[in-house]
Amino acid sequence: SAVISQKPSRDICQRGTSLTIQCQVDSQVTMMFWYRQQPGQSLTLIATANQGSEATYESGFVIDKFPISRPNLTFSTLTVSNMSPEDSSIYLCSVEQGGAGTQYFGPGTRLTVL
Amino acid sequence: GQNIDQPTEMTATEGAIVQINCTYQTSGFNGLFWYQQHAGEAPTFLSYNVLDGLEEKGRFSSFLSRSKGYSYLLLKELQMKDSASYLCAVRDASGGSYIPTFGRGTSLIVHP
């Protein structure tokens, strides 16, 4: 499976600021995905990022709050804008691989907003 | 969307066998995944079922019954390191999306 890295691994941020999370994959992939996992909850898909096109956002998530870039086939960024304590969560990127379309996850970014 | 139901928490003894159930409702079933997630870490892929029956992979096995909307993950010869959250994820292709939806996960505690 692909090797996926994320930066930063964790951060503590002040309310009202923004944080950009980077996701790097060691192979070219068509689609990359961004998930959020709030404490004690399961994974919630934020958006799907295809190279060369606008990201597709799930219900409840908007581009102004979570702008995404996908400049090439191995890299993507997710920005959490104008943060509030409710944004405190783990943010994970993932890619699909294999015939079954299995999702493989990066190590995650643990965000705490004060 | 899918309604995915798993027990919130289970406990078991080292060396024993535990079965974690997952039920789901979907109109266009297209595969079920099990993931393991240790505290503070990302989910790791365990198994994939798309046809009825049992898939065995070492100490872990996964079963699927599409007619019953039911799957289970069976963990044998439990080890302390198996203490983790186990996530069931279901893919429903009826809406044109092939991205699985995740359940809330079952927190498994293995004690000596």
pLDDT digits (tens, 9 = 90+) for B52-94: 999 999 999 999 999 999 999 999 999 999 999 999 999 988 8
Which pLDDT belongs to residue A9?
96
Note whether B104 contacts A41, CB cutoff 8 Å: yes
B86–chain A Cβ distance below 8 A for any pair: no
**Angstrom distance (rounded) from CA A48 to CA A96:** 11
Confidence band of B2 (pLDDT split at 50, 70, 90)? low
Contact B45 A103 (CB under 8 A): yes
Q: How far apart are the first and last CA of chain B?
A: 39
Q: Which of A41, A102, A104 sits opposite B48 (nearest CB)?
A: A102
Ordered per-residue pLDDT tens for chain A, 114 residues: 789 999 999 999 999 999 999 999 999 999 999 999 998 888 999 999 988 888 999 999 999 999 999 999 999 999 999 999 999 999 999 999 888 889 999 999 999 999
- Contact yes or no for B56/B47 (Cβ under 8 A): no
